[in-house]
Structure 1
Amino acid sequence: MGGTEEDRLIETATRIFAELGYDGTSLQMIADAAGYDIGAVHGIAATKADLYRAVMRNADESEEAALREALAGFTADRGGVIMLADAYLDFYVSHPQVLALWQHRWMGDAADLPDLEEIYTRPLSRDIADTVRDLVPPDVDPDYLIWSVVWCVYGFLTGGLVRSGPDEAPQRHTPSSAPCPHDDIAGFRTFLHTMLDHMFTPLP
């Protein structure tokens, strides 16, 4: 499959799958949103599952490109580790629809297409874990460490942050409903760096 019609269809499908999930979306909805008749859609993707796989493949290729670029410049020190974490955070800050696609899957969406994590998520996470494996202290599991970054980034960008000072009411920011303020991202980035510093520091 190729060409601008496919690109437009995948772009539209990405937006709708991100908003409604796979289970809550029909091919007709995507066709209507893209301005195509259903026959044209079937000419590009025979089924909703085929289109969803194309969307997830496209999303994975975007993430893969960003993280592989960071891996190519990796240095075996704190700077290299921080660069990898920043690349991951920056990708999802700038690609909220990709974040939403995976969030839907974490909540059981598209359960009849169970193989996508194995195809897309595992190879890259394994390579990153292998990259930092020799740098972590012996009491730290590199796989859990990598996924702790994933869980933190997903949790922050989708669940937001509740802040409350001694003299103020709690304030909640929910990035899923609005762009995440720069100050919140900067604060989270600082925390992420600090967490990684502690995790990579051997116990006395």
Structure 2
Amino acid sequence: MSVPDVSVRDSLLSAGKRLFAELGYDQTTNEMIAEIAGVPVESIAREFGDRRYLYLEVFRQAQAEDGALLERFAGMGSDRASYHRFLDAYLDHLYEYPENAALTVQRWMNDATDFHDVEADYVLPQVDAVGKILDGLFREEVDSELLIWTLAWTSHLFVLAGIPRHDGSRTPADQVRFRRHLHVLTDLCLKP
């Protein structure tokens, strides 16, 4: 059985995503990316122009993966069960794409601050899309934008770090417990 060839571009994207997610853009060098990708460092310039454009392409692809989830729920119902399905799908998506979660968390920690348009181009449109999906579900006194951010921050960090323990362990029971917690937390904000 033969293994399909992976293009230099795909190798660089994969290595870049891994390193940007783990170390952040600011701590990742061209040499590190090339070494992980198994290609000459000049390949970055040839394929992307420079590390900056590699980063933007990694982020664009990650956000496209995230955007596909939102498309699935664009016409969801406006009831409690639909909202729980959305939360569950969101968590499952983060578990499936933990590097996407890590890329986002790196940005939240002031990584790559010289990239001013990433949020405007990729993140904020998704927050707006979630707001439209959830429009009308919350009680009047709930700030729906801040609730969306609270759920995103909490979910991203839980997927990456779990519940802090002295031994550093994470269990499947923690995932069930966290999912249940999100349901209860958000139920408090939903209209009766």
Q: Under a length normalisation based on structure 1, what TM-score does the superposition of the two structures give? A: 0.84
Whether the 8 Å CA contact 1:14–1:97 is kept in 2: the answer is yes
Q: How many equivalent pairs are there?
A: 187
Query: Which string of whole-angstrom CA distances, capped at 9 and with x for unpartnered residues, describes residues 8-34 of structure 1?
Result: 210111011112111111112111211
CA–CA separation in structure 2 for the residues paired with 1:139 and 1:194:
18
Task: Indicate which of 89, 92, 95 corresponds to 1:93.
Answer: 95
Q: Which letter maps to 1:187?
A: R
Residues 1:186 and 2:186 are matched in the alignment: no
Decide which moves more: 150-159 or 185-194: 150-159
Select which of 184, 195, 198 maps to 2:188: 198
* One-letter amino acid matched to 1:19: E
Change (3 A) 1:186 1:65: same
5+ residue gaps, structure 1: 163-170
Is 1:29 aligned to 2:27, yes or no? no
* Matched residue, 1:112: 114
- 1-structure distance, mates of 2:119, 2:42: 30
After TM superposition, give the deviation of residue 65 of structure 1 in Å.
0.9
Matched, 1:5 2:24: no
Gaps of 5+ in 2: 1-5
CA distance in 2, matches of 1:119, 1:29: 27
Deviation at 1:172, TM superposition (A): 4.4
Higher relative contact order (CA 8 A, sep 6+): 2
The alignment's TM-score, normalised by the length of structure 2, stands at 0.89
Identity of aligned residues (%): 32
Q: Is the 8 A contact 1:160 1:173 kept in 2?
A: no
Does the Cα contact within 8 Å between 1:136 and 1:142 map onto a contact in 2?
yes
AA partner of residue 194 (structure 1): V
Q: Distance in 2 between matches of 1:46 and 1:65?
A: 28
